[in-house]
Amino acid sequence: MAINTSRRDAAPRRSASGYDVGRIGAAERDRLAKDLSEEERRILLEHGTERAFCGTLLHNKEEGVYACRLCGLPLFRSGAKFESGTGWPSFFQPFDPEHISEVRDNSYGMTRTEIRCRRCDGHLGHVFPDGPPPTGQRYCLNSAAMAFFPEGQEPPQKVAAGQ
Ligand SMILES: [Zn+2]
């Protein structure tokens, strides 16, 4: 299947799990960002990283879904969370691979793979190839980039219909 990289986010489209993953516009993003705390803004919009062992979701062991703090797109399930010992919430696979975009990040003299929300482009963290089976991937997240919804609660989708 050919991938059209030029305008792939222009039209609204749905992921395999049924969510609208069309890229939201700048105005919509600004509207959603009004709801963020200073720390959430620093991480999601300015690509910051929270301090290790300080995030509020690190030790969360409840069953449920972790959604994007900015737009509400589900990003990870509790069943894929594992204790990495790094001090950041870690997962071995995403809720839906289409919900996350990967971007090469050469900051700080390292080559890393940044992960962002596919829909709002908010910065989430990084993914490393040293995770546990079955994927071998370690998605390293900032708690402040996510909101947790216990089993049975559907994360509200904050994007306007038709965006
Ligand atoms: Zn998002």
In this prediction, residue 161 carries a pLDDT of: 57
Which of 143, 145, 136, 131 is CA-nearest to residue 52?
Answer: 143
Q: Please give the pLDDT value at position 12.
A: 61
* Mean pLDDT over the full length of the chain: 92
pLDDT band at 102 (very low <50, low <70, confident <90, very high): very high
Distance 63 CA to ligand 1 centre (A): 21
pLDDT tier, 4 (very low <50, low <70, confident <90, very high otherwise): very low
Annotated catalytic sites, by residue? Answer: 140
Give yes or no for a contact between 68 and 117, defined as CB atoms under 8 angstroms apart: yes
Rounded to the nearest whole angstrom, what is the distance from the C-alpha of residue 73 to the centroid of ligand 1?
A: 5
Identify whether the C-beta of residue 104 lies closer than 8 Å to the C-beta of residue 118: no
| Cα separations in angstroms, 125 against 18, 98, 104, 111 | 24, 16, 12, 14
pLDDT in tens, 59-82: 999 999 999 999 999 999 999 999
| Predicted confidence (pLDDT) per residue in 114-137, tens digit | 999 999 999 999 999 999 999 999
Q: Is the dihedral of CA 82, 79, 68, 109 positive or negative?
A: positive
Give the distance (Å) from ligand 1 centre to CA of residue 43: 12
pLDDT digits (tens, 9 = 90+) for 23-33: 999 999 999 99
Are 112 and 126 in contact by the 8 Å Cβ rule? The answer is yes
